[in-house]
Amino acid sequence: MEKKKINAVEMVRMIRDNQFQELKQTSPEDQKKYYRKKSKLLRSKLNKHSQEIDKL
C-alpha cells in the first residue's frame, strides 16, 4: 500500500485562497454568515460521525 503525502501548508493556502475569492465582494456581516453556516455544517457532520462511532 502506497502512502499518500499531504502537503498541509499548500492545502491551507488553497482553502484560504478559495475562501478569499468567494468572500472578497461581500460585507463583513455576510462573511460572518458564511463562516457560521460552514461551522454549523461541520458540527453536524462531526456529531453524526461521533454517533456512528458510538454504535460500534
Is the residue at 13 inside a domain?
Answer: no
Residue 4 belongs to some domain of the structure: no
Contact 31, 23 (CB under 8 A): yes
Q: Tell me whether residue 55 is in a domain.
A: yes
The total domain count for the chain is 1
Write down the pLDDT at residue 50: 87
- pTM, full prediction: 0.69
- Quote the domain boundaries for residue 35: 28-56
Is residue 34 in a domain?
yes
6: left (phi over 0), alpha (psi -120 to 50) or beta: beta
Amino acid 36: pLDDT: 97
- Which pLDDT value is given to residue 51? 86
Reported as a single tens digit per residue, the pLDDT across 24-38 is 999 999 999 999 999
Q: 35 in a domain, yes or no?
A: yes
pLDDT tens per residue, range 1-51: 788 899 999 999 999 999 999 999 999 999 999 999 999 999 999 999 888
